Chain A
Amino acid sequence: MSAAEGRPGDIVRVGPEPIDAGVLAAALRTDASGAIASFAGVVRDHHQGRRVSHLIYEAYPPMAESELRRIVDEARGRWPVQRMAIVHRTGRLAVGETSVAVVVACAHRRAALEACSFAIEELKRSVPIWKKEFSDTGEEWILGDPSSPC
């Protein structure tokens, strides 16, 4: 696993370990936290009419973690974020397993919810991670929106 901590208390990680959003939320909470927003991306059993058996995620870990730290920094510049976690899993994931989690601790709900939404959208736009889908029609790399993040 490669892990990288920006600010103390933040968690940024890309690696094969299973993700538990509840554990992340407990790790992020402080007594000043009034709102903890979390998003979990989960492997589902279908995609565009195909029956999906599992996914394999591949990442460019040092760049992915660098991009995730940039997202945390940008979120903190826009909302009063106390602590934040963005964790993405790699390797083979079965239906029902968590592929990604974003957790944000703030004093109030609006900032937590908005920062959480911002982070997952940014992750899907710019972070170098790819998924290969295995389904009843074979296997294929899923392509994201090709618009440039530059």
Chain B
Amino acid sequence: MRVTVKLFASYRELAGAAETSLEIPDGSTVQEAWGELCRIWPALAAQPYRPLTACNLRHVPAGHRLREGDELALLPPVSGG
């Protein structure tokens, strides 16, 4: 299946991309998608922090199962305000 991945702030800069389309096996979790993204861009995994993740604009835990066409977002620790 294919999902859209959005990258923000430090992740966007490390990957050199704000958005990508990712092909992953049906039923993959957010954690498995993150693992695939770290294979594509090892710099993501080298950071001393882990991403918060959102699916279709809602915070989701690492075990959340993705579906075809989902929008997965990788969020560094937020620092608004």
Contacts and interface: CB of A to CB of B under 8 A. Distances in A.
Interface of A: 41, 57-60, 62-64, 66, 88, 99-100, 120, 123-132, 141-146, 148-150
Interface in B58-76: 58-61, 73, 75-76
Contact of B81 (A62, A66, A124, A141): A124
Given A62-B57, A63-B54, A143-B49, A126 B78 contact: yes
Chain B interface size, under 10 / 10 to 19 / 20 to 34 / 35 or more: 20 to 34
B8 A128 contact: yes
Contacts of A128: 8, 52, 54, 73, 75, 78, 80
A21 to B, nearest CB: 14
B50 to A, nearest CB: 7
Interface string B9-39: 1101100000000000000000000000000
B77 A58 contact: no
Contact of B9 (A58, A125, A126): A58
Contacts of B8: 58, 60, 128, 130
The 6 residue pairs across chains A and B that have the minimum distance between CB atoms: A129-B80, A130-B9, A144-B79, A146-B77, A63-B57, A142-B79
B54 A131 contact: no
Contacts of B6: 60
Contacts of A62: 57
A57 B81 CA distance: 9
A146 B81 CA distance: 15
Contacts of A125: 78
Contacts of B54: 60, 63, 128
